[in-house]
Structure 1
Amino acid sequence: MITIYTTPSCSSCRKAKKWLDEHKVPYEEKNLFNHRIDDTDIEMMLNHAENGFDDIISTRSKVFKEQELEVEDMSVSELKSFIINHPSVLKRPIIVDAKRMQVGYNDEEIRVFIPKRLREMIMRENSEEDFTHYDETLSRYFATMTDEIDDEE
């Protein structure tokens, strides 16, 4: 299951959710201001981060600047505690599942969250360089999903 960490005023968060909805990719949204994140959330992010906290923390955030903090001077437990108490320091959106993470919204990179069956259809029907038939493949994929739901009923 995909988890997306968002805030209401974040336009990139809205774009990511719209993309996931359009591609019928199920996700759980965790609004950083309404859902208190915990150590488990942070660990999940860090497990996928190539550069540790640098990948998920915005040191340009207001609270980070006001407190004149340096990531290098803080222990892991201090950083986790700081994030839990000040979730606005996290970059947004953070999209994570069991295998991968994307920070921010990128139209191309978000495609890693496309369901495996759809990815296989895309690769079978489109060459590596030519994704001109992507929308047609997407339509056929959603049609087969609808047909399967109809058959189950």
Structure 2
Amino acid sequence: MEENKAITFYTYPSCTSCRKTKAWLKKNDIDFGERHLFRETPSSSELKQILSLTTEGIDEILATRSQTFKQLKIDVNELTFTEMVELLTREPKLLRRPIITDGTKLVVGYNPSALRNISQKKQRLSIAN
């Protein structure tokens, strides 16, 4: 994740939810580092960090309705955690988008109330410093 930005925004420009999220972040004057999901795919360690922040595990970030997922014809429940992380690193189109994290909280998809929680935490930190 980008060290100089408190929030990392993993995005894909043609994704409607990504565009809505980016517009929300800009409208609310939230400083973020933008990463193109397919050109700057999260590393294995970044994915493990993202997964550690989920409440539903892999299901929270896995795009099961995507064409890529349907073409795989594999049972993800049969994969080990390491195999799943390797698969997501190789096939970033399997990731739901956007993914937004501040390192302690995670937002998947366009979710203004969850984005508000991350931005409020960031604002409290900047006021405290």
Give the TM-score normalised by the residue count of structure 2. Answer: 0.84
Structure 1 segments, 4+ long, off by >4 Å, are: 116-119
What residue number does 1:19 align with? Answer: 24
Residue 84 of structure 2 aligns to which amino acid in structure 1? L
Q: Which runs of 5+ in 2 are unaligned?
A: 1-5, 125-129
Taking only aligned residues, the RMSD between alpha carbons, in angstroms, comes to: 1.6
Take 2:75 and 2:24, find their aligned partners in 1: how far apart are those partners? 35
In 2, Cα distance between the equivalents of 1:92 and 1:23?
20
Q: Within 5 Å, give how 1:48-67 maps onto structure 2.
A: 48-67=53-72
User: 1:118 Cα shift?
Assistant: 5.3
Contact 1:25–1:115 (8 Å) recurs in 2: no
Distance (whole Å) between structure 1 residues aligned to residue 112 and residue 32 of structure 2: 17
State the alpha-carbon separation in 2 of the partners of residues 51 and 94 from structure 1. Answer: 14
Secondary structure of 1:80 counterpart: helix
Q: 1:116 to 1:103 in 2, by over 3 A?
A: closer
Larger Rg computed on CA atoms: 1
Q: Show the counterpart of 1:92.
A: 97
TM normalised by structure 1 equals 0.72
Distance 1:36 1:6 in 2: 10
TM-superposed deviation, 1:117: 7.9
CA shift, 1:53, in A, is: 0.5
Separation in 2, partners of 1:44, 1:118: 23
